[in-house]
A and B are shown apart, each in its own frame.
Chain A
Amino acid sequence: MADLRAALGPDRARAEPLELALYQRDAGVDRGQAAAVCFPGTVDQLAAAVGIAAWHDRPFVARGSGTGLAGGATPVGDPLVIVTTGLNRIVEVDADERVAWVEPGVLNLDLSRAVHHLGLHYAPDPSSQQACTIGGNVATNAGGPHCLAAGVTAAHVLAVEVVLADGSVAMLGGLEPDAPGYDLRGCFVGSEGTMGVSGRIAVRLTPNPPAVRTLLLDFSTIEAAAATVSGIIAAGIVPAALEMMDAEITRAVEDFVGAGYPRDAAAVLLVELDGLPAGVEAQVEAVRRVGHEHGARTVRVAADDAERALLWKGRKSAFGAIARIAPDYYLHDAVVPRTKLVDVLRQVYAIAAEYDLTMMNVFHAGDGNLHPLIVFDQRTPGVWERVHAAGDAILRACVDAGGVLSGEHGIGLEKRDAMPLVFTPDDLDAQARLRDAFDPSGRANPEKILPSGSRCGELQRVPAGAWI
């Protein structure tokens, strides 16, 4: 503590019990305990903090906004928690090259807003985009509704300045399109803080589309909605976003935003199309047709930006809004082949019924990324066991259908022990060795991602284009 206070300033390091209690968890369910927490205000201070942890041979965990859903920022092994929210400057924007250098604590939506007047935005838009940091996005390789067409975070990060576990600083990647040598930047993206802490990050900015249309389709069966998804893709349309919500979640969301989501629908699809005005109009008609063919009850096209914003606000509040039903939730993040979607969904609902749990689904239908949510109240005796058992059963069902564990939220602590479901011991070993190359000491966010026994890895196994 004394070293931290000396290096960062007295207010930038704390260890009071109540203060530490606030850093026990992220938005997931697992809790840990930190030894101390610090708030660097510059990248130099960030490096100093990591260096001090190295000097005292203490683990450290980077934390952005703590919106992670997999326990990635949960402190394990009495670590120093390093909070990046004070590193929130947009360092430089090059509108011609469409590149921005940002500090890791810049909020995703703040960046898009700051470059809006240049006709640009930062494309990956996790539903938590108003709150999560770019550093956290890079660490979890975050995706979002608009990553269907635009690609996940990895496709938008050009270079990362990384503070390695010993406190030294390395620059991975670069602005030139095809840098020679190994793509270490690619390794780092998605490493969930296990390979070091990112300092300044160079991200690609994307031009705002000239025309955007958002459609809301509503169905009386989930199957019809899923068939429409396949139909849209089969018609050769690549929507900017294609999202599905089931009945329960639609009602919960509508209670919050009042956007006119139909309360009696079995499922709704939110489809966004963008491009040149004429092309977009043609696609709107095509989606409308496909929807009606598959039994959509209504197809609503948002009339203006305000209505669009309200519809998206609903979708992006989905996770938060479920607390209207029960105070705790357990969220999965699995990707299954789109063709198996209906099948897996049926199984998932059956599993919930079997364990007597309330289950809801909200997901990126476009690429088969499911988010089955089990909602419950921790205070109910015995509920945890049922939730965990149902969770395992769901993961198994997804993997059996040829899916993967994590579309976008990462593995963290929560899904760590499920890694052997999809990876062979050799795979895990290779990942552990990759991580060791970055952090031989094993102090960077220990016990995350890889189950004990295999040690540490990276997440490039996630299929391209997958996010939550």
Chain B
Amino acid sequence: MSLLSVLTLDENELVACVACGLCLPHCPTYRVTGLEAASPRGRIAAMQAVQFGDAPLDATFERYMEECVQCRGCEAACPSSVPFGHLMEGARGVLHEQRRSERRWRRRLAEWLGYRLVLPRHRLLLALTWLLLVAQRLHLVPRRLGLPRLSVRSLARRLRVPAGDAPDAYLFTGCVMDAWQRDTHRAAIRVMAATGARPGLPRGGADCCGALHVHAGREEEARRLARRVIAALPGTAPVVVDSAGCAAAMKDYGRLLDTDEARTFATRVRDFSEWLARQPPPAVRADGGRVVVQDPCHLRHVQHADGAVREVLGRAYELAETDDDGLCCGAGGAYNALQPALATQIRDRKVEAIRRAAGDGRPRVASANPGCAMHLAAAGLDVRHPADLLAEALE
């Protein structure tokens, strides 16, 4: 253990926390543990202790940081606007650099496979998805993983958009979502077309937005991916994203790359519902029934697009709200894989809140993020993307 390791976070950001504790109830890990160490205030205090030399950067510190879902519920709740997400990404970056050598080889191999080999290469991800599909048919993939049922038809068919010149709006397709939930992209394209707009697809190279890399503190890799994404989406047309985690990351490209090109690009990025709310409303049947809205954290706390989701879904469905202030569901990118115990406890809380909101019957849940959808589906809920729900309601 190296005692010389130091944190080098922005000191002004770090001391901005006045320890008022108003963020505590909005933190999923604090809610299920009641531990200061699993709270935003405690994590900041730990960062301060390490940065100012009062405590070593050791395995305990690493555990505190890694237990954070990076949902940024605390950031939205903090009246002092402590930029928690940025601090946490910084801390993860330092941990990634300094503690790499101490990680077990299995974890390092898994990280390398995921972050470096597969995610940046969409064809490889698709090939692996075919294998996964076969495994799923052979019942080798446990249901509790929440993997949606992969479909041969869906995987075999490419996404199609009307041919023609420059599109009115791009649909960003991304990595895992395109491999596992391509039907949601199809639904999004149908709804986009129903507004009268002409949707387009990215050119080659937009394999992955890099959100997971940023969360893991792998900024250099994230920057490489971001440059490729920007190059694959030329012009000025809005970039519509139907995964809340990706959209949040792409809106932050300006900070990540620190170039004017990236900043301009970031202003073009829209969450699907955010974009749709500004278009002429497509004709829908208004009798879709009751849907419980689940706000993915990066939609609500980071993009503040929770209002837009309600606006567009409300045209076709009767909406029900949970009573937990949009507390995180525990999916958090790769979090449910890395911290399964905490992720499950957090999810149990969420599932209870959803059942309370739904009243009787099996609730139908709308979630605008593939990670949340899979995580909640693994608990036996019927979770749909707003694009799927709206496509179903189109006249």
Contacts and interface: CB of A to CB of B under 8 A. Distances in A.
Q: Does A pair with B?
A: yes
Interface of A: 16-19, 21-27, 39, 65-67, 83, 85-86, 88, 105, 107, 109-110, 113, 128, 130-132, 253, 255-256, 317-324, 327-329, 377-379
B348 interface: no
Contacts of A110: 25
A377 B18 CA distance: 11
17 contacts: A18-B60, A21-B45, A21-B55, A26-B21, A27-B19, A65-B24, A88-B34, A105-B34, A110-B25, A130-B25, A131-B22, A131-B24, A317-B79, A319-B20, A320-B18, A320-B79, A324-B80
B60 A67 contact: no
Given A65-B24, A320-B22, 7 more contacts: A22-B42, A23-B36, A27-B18, A27-B20, A131-B21, A319-B20, A319-B79
B49 A21 contact: yes
Interface in B157-211: none
B55 A18 contact: yes
B130 interface: no
A256 B61 contact: no
Contact of B37 (A19, A319, A320, A328): A19
B54 interface: yes
A27 B39 CA distance: 14
Contact of B34 (A83, A255, A323): A83
B64 interface: yes
Contacts of B41: 66
Contacts of A19: 37, 60
Nearest to A328: B18
B137 to A, nearest CB: 41
B21 A67 contact: yes
B283 interface: no
Interface in B38-63: 41-42, 45-46, 49-50, 54-56, 58, 60-61
Interface in B1-32: 12, 15-25
A379 B15 CA distance: 10
B61 A323 contact: no
A26 B19 contact: yes
A21 B58 CA distance: 14
A39 B35 contact: yes
A256 B20 contact: no
A329 B25 contact: no
Contacts of B19: 25-27, 66
B17 A85 contact: no
Main secondary structure of the interface of B (DSSP, over half): loop
A109 B26 CA distance: 12
A253 B323 CA distance: 25
A109 B21 CA distance: 14
Contacts of B61: 18
B24 to A, nearest CB: 5
Nearest 8 Cβ contacts at the A-B interface: A320-B79, A85-B34, A323-B80, A317-B79, A321-B79, A67-B21, A22-B36, A22-B42
A85 B42 CA distance: 14
B25 A107 contact: yes
B18 A329 contact: yes
A67 B19 CA distance: 8
B320 interface: no
B16 A320 contact: no
A454 to B, nearest CB: 29
Contacts of A109: 25
B18 A324 contact: no
A66 B21 contact: yes
Contacts of A18: 37, 46, 49-50, 55-56, 58, 60-61, 64
Contacts of A107: 25
B249 interface: no
B16 A323 contact: yes
Given A22-B42, A109-B25, A317-B79, A86 B15 contact: no
Contact of A317 (B17, B22, B50, B58): B22
A377 B12 CA distance: 10
Contacts of A16: 60
A22 B20 CA distance: 13
Contacts of B387: none
Contacts of A328: 18
B78 interface: yes
B25 A131 contact: yes
A131 B15 CA distance: 21
A459 B75 CA distance: 36
B81 interface: yes
B21 A39 contact: no
Given A67-B21, A131-B21, A327 B46 contact: no
Contacts of B17: 323
B36 A66 contact: yes
B72 to A, nearest CB: 16
Given A256-B79, A317-B79, A327-B15, A22 B37 contact: yes
A284 B326 CA distance: 34
A318 B81 CA distance: 12
Given A21-B55, A23-B36, A39-B34, A321 B80 contact: yes
A50 to B, nearest CB: 18
A195 B378 CA distance: 48
A378 B81 CA distance: 19
Nearest to B18: A323
- Which of B18, B55, B81, B323 has most A Cβ within 10 Å? B18
A65 B24 CA distance: 8
Contacts of A377: 15
Contact of B21 (A23, A27, A83, A317): A27
A104 to B, nearest CB: 12
Contacts of A23: 36
B46 A21 contact: yes
A23 B37 CA distance: 9
A113 B323 contact: yes
B24 A22 contact: no
A376 B19 CA distance: 15
Interface string B63-82: 01000000000000011111
Contacts of B55: 17-18, 21
Nearest to B34: A85
Given A27-B18, A131-B25, A327-B16, A86 B54 contact: no
A132 to B, nearest CB: 8
Contacts of A65: 21, 24
A105 B12 CA distance: 33
Given A21-B45, A39-B34, A128 B20 contact: yes
